């Protein structure tokens, strides 16, 4: 039995683990680990895309939300939905470039602190006790603005980066534009401040970081007792250079600096650039923004490219989140330069358990699907057309032969499960006519063992897949 139609609009192939999402435009990544999963957040470029359409430009002003993904294997990603920043903090102009951290507080709960750009003129913060919310606005106003005392020479105090050190102390960086006495070489606008115990106030004056050719995209890490500041350097010509032992960074690449004493401006040491602009690697030139995160013993660099926009028939500057491994010498806090490409991959670090309940919105890639929401959060995946499918990579059946496939589904039609190849014989077929998501079962035609990739294929428009598993 073959489908009469299989969706052919594939924006992410089965061969490449990037971008993270096959169909949602998003950028400016940040990440946090919680209960063994890695949660990644980004600017919701898709909100701008839906506002202006294929022929429109990504000028960012319509972006007032963030997107959330998570993984525990680095290749299959669950799309959790959105943070409606405008609903949580109605005072915003737009919301871009999140940076998140977490800490267990006195109430015994893990509190998440998500800092973000209020357009290009400040920094806001929202909080939650779950990585997916609900979120609240503890201040009811920006944490940082152009009117904040001490920031007179920082015309665009945006693009925050946050970290918490081994003493539990929070630190916040940000900056943009050029100081009145700044130069292309030293714009003089990068700032760092010690956060108060409540994470929403300041416990120090603002200190400058002398970041050469600074542009935007501040981020902070704390590695082996060292504070690490990363930023996107500018497009300006590298005429001036006065740092011995380090070469001039390439245009709009990512650079890093280190110190043991973050409030001492003179203590910061420029270490080099570690991630060239995607345009230097055969992709479209764009702005640059990265986040470094250690997960399961490896360092990963999250970044964005415009890898997907041409496949989605737009050239408006819509970005997609990507991930690469970034080797880090922790002892000396040295980054190894990493490049991106249209074929950049990361390795799957664990297999999917088919005998656990797996949500429909978790996949390596997909085609012809959209998402069912409960408020801002995704609850299921929906077929937008006949022949829609999701692809789940690296499913380990072990030596136990699966006998039953089950799924909670709604709609009218058929779901087929195929192993390793879309053209292979279906190993399970569900036929159903359900008004709401209901459990449906099918025998597995032949016992399956070992590790396989799965295609879960939906015959008709408006089929909704909530979750699936094998027995």
CA distances from 16 to 12, 75, 284 (A): 7, 9, 18
pLDDT of residue 106 exceeding 80, the answer is yes
- Dump pLDDT digits (tens) for 33-51: 999 999 999 999 999 999 9
Nearest to 42 by CA among 240, 273, 318: 318
DSSP-derived 3-state class of residue 49: helix
Mean pLDDT confidence for 203-218: 99
The pair of three-digit structure tokens given for residue 248, joined into one six-digit string: 């001039």
Average the pLDDT over each of 70-74, 390-394, 399-403, 460-464 and give the range with the smallest value: 399-403
| Residue carrying the six token digits 């035609």 | 445
Specify the pLDDT at position 9: 85
Q: What is the mean pLDDT of residues 465-469?
A: 99
> Percent of the chain beyond pLDDT 90?
95
437: pLDDT strictly greater than 50: yes
**pLDDT-based confidence at 4, cuts 50/70/90?**
low
DSSP state of 248: P
Q: Are strands 388-396 and 365-367 parallel, antiparallel or unpaired?
A: antiparallel
Longest CA pairwise span in the chain (Å): 73
What is the predicted pLDDT for the residue at 41? Answer: 99
Report, as an integer, the average pLDDT of 368-372.
97
Query: pLDDT at residue 1 above 50?
Result: no
Give yes or no for residue 216 having a pLDDT over 60: yes
Angle among Cα 320, 349, 71 to the nearest 5 degrees reads 45
Q: Which has the minimum average pLDDT: 50-54, 271-275, 335-339, 451-455?
A: 335-339
Task: Using the predicted structure, report yes or no on whether residue 5 has a pLDDT greater than 80.
Answer: no
Could you tell me which of 380, 330, 334, 384 has the C-alpha nearest to residue 358?
380
Residue 93 pLDDT > 70? yes
Q: What class, spelled out in words, does domain 27-335 have in CATH?
A: mainly beta
Q: In what order do the strands lie in the sheet with 110-118?
A: 95-104, 110-118, 122-128, 144-145
Res. 3 pLDDT band, cuts 50 70 90:
low
Q: Where are the domains of the chain?
A: 27-335, 358-470
Q: Give 120's contacts (C-beta < 8 A, 6+ positions apart).
A: 156, 158, 176
Count CB atoms within 10 A of the CB of residue 439. 13
Question: What confidence tier does 59 reach under pLDDT thresholds 50, 70, 90?
Answer: very high
Q: Give the chain's mean pLDDT.
A: 97
Q: Give the Å distances, CA to CA, from 328 to 18, 201, 252, 336.
A: 21, 32, 21, 6
Write down the pLDDT at residue 323. 97
Query: Can you tell me the mean pLDDT for 193-222?
Result: 99
pLDDT computed for residue 330 by the predictor: 98
Q: What is the pLDDT of residues 244-260, one digit of tens each?
A: 999 999 999 999 999 99
What pLDDT was estimated at residue 444? 96
Does residue 195 carry a pLDDT above 50? yes
> Residue 225 and residue 222: Cα distance in Å, rounded?
6
CATH of domain 358-470: 2.60.120.260
């Amino acid at each position: 039995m073959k489908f009469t139609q299989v969706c052919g609009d594939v924006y992410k192939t089965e061969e490449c683990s990037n971008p993270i999402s096959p169909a949602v435009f998003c950028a400016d990544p940040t990440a946090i680990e919680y209960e063994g999963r890695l949660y990644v957040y980004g600017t919701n470029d898709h909100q701008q895309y839906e506002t202006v359409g294929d022929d429109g430009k990504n000028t960012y002003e319509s972006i007032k939300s963030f997107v959330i993904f998570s993984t525990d294997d680095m290749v299959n990603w669950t799309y959790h939905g959105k943070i409606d920043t405008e609903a949580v903090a109605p005072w915003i102009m737009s919301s871009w470039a999140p940076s998140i951290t977490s800490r267990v507080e006195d109430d015994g709960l893990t509190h998440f602190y998500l800092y973000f750009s209020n357009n290009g003129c400040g920094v806001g913060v929202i909080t939650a006790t779950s990585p997916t919310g609900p979120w609240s606005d503890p201040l009811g106003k920006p944490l940082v603005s152009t009117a904040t005392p001490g920031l007179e020479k920082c015309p665009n105090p945006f693009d925050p980066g946050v970290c918490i050190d081994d003493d539990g102390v929070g630190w916040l960086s940000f900056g943009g534009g050029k100081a009145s006495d700044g130069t292309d070489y030293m714009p003089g606008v990068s700032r760092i401040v010690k956060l108060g115990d409540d994470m929403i106030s300041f416990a120090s004056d603002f200190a400058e970081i002398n970041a050469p050719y600074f542009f935007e995209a501040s981020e902070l890490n704390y590695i082996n007792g060292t504070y690490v500041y990363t930023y996107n350097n500018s497009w300006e010509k590298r005429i001036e250079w006065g740092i011995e032992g380090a070469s001039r960074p390439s245009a709009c690449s990512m650079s890093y600096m280190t110190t043991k004493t973050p409030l001492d401006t003179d203590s910061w040491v420029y270490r080099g650039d570690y991630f060239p602009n995607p345009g230097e690697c055969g992709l479209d030139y764009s702005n640059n923004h990265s986040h470094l995160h250690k997960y399961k013993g490896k360092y990963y660099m999250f970044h964005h490219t415009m890898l997907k926009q041409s496949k989605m028939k737009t050239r408006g500057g819509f970005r997609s989140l990507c991930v690469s491994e970034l080797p880090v010498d922790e002892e000396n806090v040295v980054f190894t330069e990493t490049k991106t490409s249209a074929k950049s991959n990361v390795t799957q670090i664990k297999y999917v358990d088919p005998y656990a309940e797996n949500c429909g919105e978790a996949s390596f890639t997909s085609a012809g699907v959209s998402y069912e929401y409960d408020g801002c959060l995704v609850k299921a995946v929906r077929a937008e057309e006949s022949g829609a499918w999701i692809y789940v990579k690296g499913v380990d059946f072990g030596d136990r032969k699966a006998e039953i496939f089950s799924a909670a589904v709604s709609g009218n039609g058929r779901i087929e499960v195929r192993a390793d190849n879309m053209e292979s014989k279906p190993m399970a077929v569900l036929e159903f006519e359900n008004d709401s998501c209901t459990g449906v079962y099918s025998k597995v035609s032949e016992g399956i063992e070992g590790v396989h990739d799965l295609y879960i294929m939906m015959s008709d428009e408006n089929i909704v897949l909530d979750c699936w598993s094998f027995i």
